[in-house]
């Protein structure tokens, strides 16, 4: 069984220029997820990019690189388009889709997800990483309580928790990806990660926070 990962890292980020290779504590951000992948049980670590700088940095960390066409590298291009392009070019049985904006991801998280899918290969088709979100009072923009009553405020223990995707990784079988063109499908499982390692880099403040957590 061949297990490969792909990290989607296009150039042209608007919010943070060169976001995928911006340095956090002296290391390009994408380096953290490449290292997590390469230290896991994954057989091959790939980066899909349209950017020469990202390509060179990725190669320097030991990843393989697939050149992503510009027509699926725009601001509104879907990740699934790049995943399908990758699956058309590279052979694998299980695909681990990793996002470079999750530098707190560990190889043990990836191994946990892969082993869960392999051990339950007849019962599950995909898994993804998430954190457990316990109930807290939420309000809409009209300052109205969302699904609770101020005259009967529930205790946290009375409300069920939810799982929230943290975007760190998604794992799926090749046949499911090719059939559905989705990062996850069929019977889907969850691999829980702690909340404090579920932050993603979207803003400069995120960079500062994650720099302190690393």
Active site residues: 153
Hunting for tokens 């829980």 — which residue is that?
192
Q: Can you point out the beta strands (E) in the chain?
A: 3-8, 23-24, 27-28, 44-49, 64-67, 94-98, 126-133, 162-173, 188-192
Neighbours of 208 (CB within 10 A): 10
If 0-12 CB within 10 Å is exposed, 13-18 middle and 19+ buried, where does residue 92 land?
Answer: buried
Q: Which residue has the tokens 């695909």?
A: 95
CA-to-CA dists, residue 142 to 9, 135, 190, angstroms = 38, 20, 33
10 Å CB burial of residue 26 (0-12, 13-18, 19+) is: exposed
- What letter does residue 145 receive in the DSSP assignment? B
- Most distant CA pair in the chain: distance in Å? 59
């Amino acid at each position: 069984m061949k297990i490969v990962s792909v990290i989607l890292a296009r150039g042209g980020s608007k919010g943070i220029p060169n976001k995928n290779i911006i340095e956090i504590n002296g290391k390009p951000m994408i380096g953290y997820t490449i290292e997590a992948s390469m230290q896991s049980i994954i057989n091959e670590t790939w980066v899909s990019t349209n950017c020469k700088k990202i390509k060179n940095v990725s190669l320097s960390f030991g990843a393989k690189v697939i050149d992503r066409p510009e027509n699926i590298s725009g601001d509104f291009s879907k990740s699934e388009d790049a995943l399908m392009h990758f699956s058309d070019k590279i052979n694998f049985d299980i695909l681990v889709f990793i996002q470079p904006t999750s530098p707190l991801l560990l190889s043990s998280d990836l191994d946990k997800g892969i082993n869960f899918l392999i051990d339950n290969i007849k019962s599950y088709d995909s898994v993804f990483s998430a954190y457990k979100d316990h109930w807290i009072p939420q309000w809409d923009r009209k300052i109205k309580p969302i699904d609770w009553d101020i005259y009967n405020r529930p205790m946290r223990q009375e409300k069920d928790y939810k799982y929230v995707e943290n975007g760190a990784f998604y794992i799926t079988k090749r046949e499911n990806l090719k059939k559905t063109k989705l990062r996850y499908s069929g019977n889907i499982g969850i691999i829980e990660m702690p909340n404090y390692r579920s932050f993603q880099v979207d803003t400069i403040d995120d960079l500062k926070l994650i720099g302190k957590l690393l």
